[in-house]
Amino acid sequence: MTLSKCVTIYSLKGNTSAILDEFNLDGFDVCKMLKEDPREHWQNHDFIMIGSATYYKEGVTPPTPPYYFQKYEQDLLQLENKEIVLFGSGKKEYPIFCGALDYLYGVLKDKNDIKLVYKVDQIPRKHQKIEFRDLVEEIINGR
Ligand SMILES: Cc1cc2nc3c(=O)[nH]c(=O)nc-3n(C[C@H](O)[C@H](O)[C@H](O)COP(=O)(O)O)c2cc1C
């Protein structure tokens, strides 16, 4: 049976989206969280990639969700038996680098299989885009 796959992306300035530049999205259901609610995509697919930038307000850190995941927290906690890849861009100068990914890992790890957490400092370089593509392809092809 074909693996049902989706990628949902939260990226304000495009750095997180750019991690996918070398990635072949054929066969993936794609959801941009700025335009669309991701919940149905998460529920309907077995292999879920969540790309998220980190925008924490000062003094707020994981395990508190970043504000843009707050309304989805219950839905995230209910997901189970999914294979999950987390990726995103942050900035190393902040106290918690890519904290949104730490948050997502925390709420998803107990009931799902987290295959990869891929963090990038600001704008992804070409070699990182290729590395990310190859790592995910390996995960999918090795199933
Ligand atoms: C108000 C604000 C708060 C931020 N907080 C964090 C943070 O806590 N941790 C982090 O790694 N990056 C933080 N960043 C940096 C962004 O995550 C980074 O610029 C990232 O590349 C943006 O990705 P995007 O282009 O996909 O939106 C913050 C940026 C802003 C403007």
CATH of the domain at 66: 3.40.50.360
Asked if the structure places residue 52 within a domain, the reply is: yes
Which atom of ligand 1 sits closest to the CA of residue 122? 21
Total domains in the fold of the chain: 1
pLDDT confidence of residue 124 = 98
Asked if the structure places residue 131 within a domain, the reply is: yes
pLDDT confidence of residue 82 = 98
Asked if the structure places residue 141 within a domain, the reply is: no
Domain containing residue 28: 5-135
- Number of C-alpha atoms within 13 angstroms, CB side, residue 52? 25
pLDDT confidence of residue 2 = 82
Distance 106 CA to ligand 1 centre (A): 19
Mean pLDDT by 10 residues, the chain (143 residues): 93 98 97 98 98 95 95 98 98 96 98 98 98 98 91
pLDDT confidence of residue 143 = 85
Q: Whose CA is nearest to atom 16 of ligand 1?
A: 90
Asked if the structure places residue 143 within a domain, the reply is: no
Distance 55 CA to ligand 1 centre (A): 5
Asked if the structure places residue 142 within a domain, the reply is: no
Asked if the structure places residue 123 within a domain, the reply is: yes
Asked if the structure places residue 72 within a domain, the reply is: yes
Asked if the structure places residue 35 within a domain, the reply is: yes
**Residue 105 · residue 114 · CB < 8 Å:** yes
Nearest to 76 by CA among 104, 48, 37: 104
Distance 86 CA to ligand 1 centre (A): 16
**Residue 41 · residue 30 · CB < 8 Å:** no
Nearest to 96 by CA among 51, 131, 66, 132: 66
